[in-house]
Amino acid sequence: MATETTAQGDSGGLSFHPMDQFIVKPLFGDGPVHWYTITNVTLWMALSVLVIAALLVFGTRSRAIVPNRSQSIAELAYGFIYKMVEDVAGKDGVKYFPYIMTLFMFIVVANFLGLLPTAFTTTSHIAVTAILAFAVFITVTVIGFAKNGKAFLNLFWVASAPLALRPILAVIEVISYFVRPVSHSIRLAGNLMAGHAVIKVFAGFAAIAAIAPFSIIAVTAIYGLEVLVAFIQAYVFTILTCVYLKDALHPSH
Amino acid sequence: MATETTSEAVGSCVGADGSAIGLPQLCFDWFPNQIFWLLVTLAAIYFLLSRIALPRIGAVLAERQGTITNDIAAAEELKAQADEAEKAYDKALADARAEAQRIAAETRAEIQVELDKAIAAADAQIAEKTGESEAAIAEIRASALESVTEVARDTAQAIVSALGGTADDAAVSAAVEKQTKG
């Protein structure tokens, strides 16, 4: 969110750099960013791992029958995702629960960490969400063929439609199937990037004294919205993963 | 955030003033770095969850479910015991009441028998006393009659003497006898 970068330009006019918060830079030194370089991406992803460990491992260390606060939250997250997987993907989807829980916990924690002022939002990058989405896409497609063989193709052949319509529907189904990872990834990255950029733009207007109060109110309001978006986008990403998994396990319409 | 970064070595995506050129999200120079660290992160989270957190939370939830089920079963058993105890209490109460009534009836019957015996004895005593009294009264009456005859004879003799006659004892006695009997 990096609101401190809304500095005024040399001419005294407004200068907006709403995208600077998304720059990847090395944590130590100014060298080029290699694949192994420790960058702000590394820092904020490591923080998300620490938060998840604190919540789900450290928080549940007492294994209490009557849970304390942190254990309650961990159990709530567990029950929330477990029930989602069971309800959407079915009983046989439950064995993929750890993978889906991993996705959800990473996205939700990274989203909320990104809301901290001066934080770097890892999930606002299409490179990150595309990997997540393609991982889901490839895994689900492999599971679909491994579980159902050729019957998985029934997903594209709508048996309940009139015969004349089926080829057309098949084309539409195939296109929608391959668009899934694109929409899946851009939805998450786009929502977060847009919200964070909008906050920066509003913050930039605060340089003008007359507009500053409105700017602050707007930033506050958008921030509230972003808190909602942070959770909802994690939820949407996870439930869509469950839906795709359901299609792979039970391809018939 | 990156305004301090002024080095050109950062790449083609950041300008000389440290601000982003175009969308930082589309800077392909950074993709390998992000993808690598994302995979490391996901592996770490998956390890944490699948090895430690999820089995632990699952076990806690199952244990809680088990405890709740056991507690409910125990409560049902205790409730059944309480019902049984109440039934037994009611039965004992009813038995005790019946017993009490039986004892009361028995006692009443016993008392009745004794009472009857006592009444009979009293009646007999009363009858005896009455007989005795009647005998005494009859005796007294008889002696009183005798006395009346005697007094009447004496009186008749005295009256006869007073009238200047000579009282014939036998005649007087007969006359008195006749009068008193009549």
Q: What is the mean pLDDT of residues B123-131?
A: 93
Query: Among B2, B35, B52, whose Cβ lies nearest the Cβ of A20?
Result: B2
CB contact under 8 A, B34 and A5: no
Question: A94, A120, A131: which is closest to A42 by C-alpha?
Answer: A120
Task: State the pLDDT confidence band at A253, using cuts at 50, 70 and 90.
Answer: low
Q: What is the pLDDT of residue A5?
A: 44
The confidence band for A43, taking pLDDT boundaries of 50, 70 and 90, is very high
Beta carbons of A30 and B7 less than 8 Å apart: yes
Nearest CA in chain B to A103: B42
Reference A31, options B65, B60, B11, B82; nearest CA is B11
Could you tell me the pLDDT band of residue A13, with boundaries at 50, 70 and 90? Answer: low
Interchain proximity B63–A65, CB inside 8 Å: yes
Average pLDDT over residues A179-183: 95
Q: DSSP characters for A152-193?
A: GGGGTS-TTS-TTTHHHHHHHHHHHHHHHHHHHHHHHHHHHH
Tokens representing B35 are 């993808």
B141 Cβ under 8 Å from any chain A Cβ: no
Return d(Cα A37, Cα A43) in angstroms, integer. Answer: 11
Tokens 């009444």 belong to: B119
Range of the domain at A54: 3-249
The predicted structure's pLDDT at residue A207 = 85
State how far the alpha carbon of B113 is from the alpha carbons of A87, B7, B118, B122, in Å: 85, 128, 9, 14
Q: What are phi and psi of A63, to 5 degrees?
A: 50, 45
Tens digit of pLDDT for each residue in A221-235? 999 999 999 999 999
Residue B56: which of A107, A70, A96 has the closest Cα? A70
3-state secondary structure of A97: helix
Nearest CA in chain A to B38: A128
Q: What is the DSSP letter of A22?
A: G
Interchain proximity B3–A102, CB inside 8 Å: no
Closest CB from A21, A35, A125 relative to B32 = A35
Tell me the C-alpha distance between A220 and A216, whole Å. Answer: 6
User: B164 in the Ramachandran plot: left (φ > 0), alpha (ψ -120 to 50) or beta?
Assistant: left
Note if the pTM is more than 0.80. no
Tell me what ipTM this predicted complex has: 0.88
For the segment A167-172, the average pLDDT, to the nearest whole number, is 92
pLDDT of A6 > 60? The answer is no
Is residue B50 within 8 angstroms of chain A, CB to CB? yes
Name the nearest CA neighbour of A110 among A208, A201, A234, A193: A234
Q: How far is B79 from chain A (nearest CA, A)?
A: 24
Where does the pLDDT of residue A8 fall: very low under 50, low under 70, confident under 90, or very high at 90 and above? very low
Nearest by Cα to A52 from B64, B35, B43, B32: B43
Summarised one tens digit per residue, pLDDT across range B7-54 is: 444 467 888 777 888 888 888 888 999 999 999 999 999 999 999 999
Question: Which of B5, B35, B60 is the closest to A60 by Cβ?
Answer: B60
Question: Number of Cβ pairs closer than 8 Å across A and B?
Answer: 169
Return d(Cα A231, Cα B111) in angstroms, integer.
91
Give chain A positions within 8 Å (CB) of B9.
Answer: 30-32
Q: How many CA atoms lie within 13 A of A81 on its CB side?
A: 30
Q: Does B67 touch chain A (CB under 8 A)?
A: yes
Task: Count how many domains chain A has.
Answer: 1
Q: Which of B27, B46, B52 sits opposite A57 (nearest CB)?
A: B52
% of chain B with per-residue pLDDT over 70: 92
- Output the pLDDT for position B182: 61
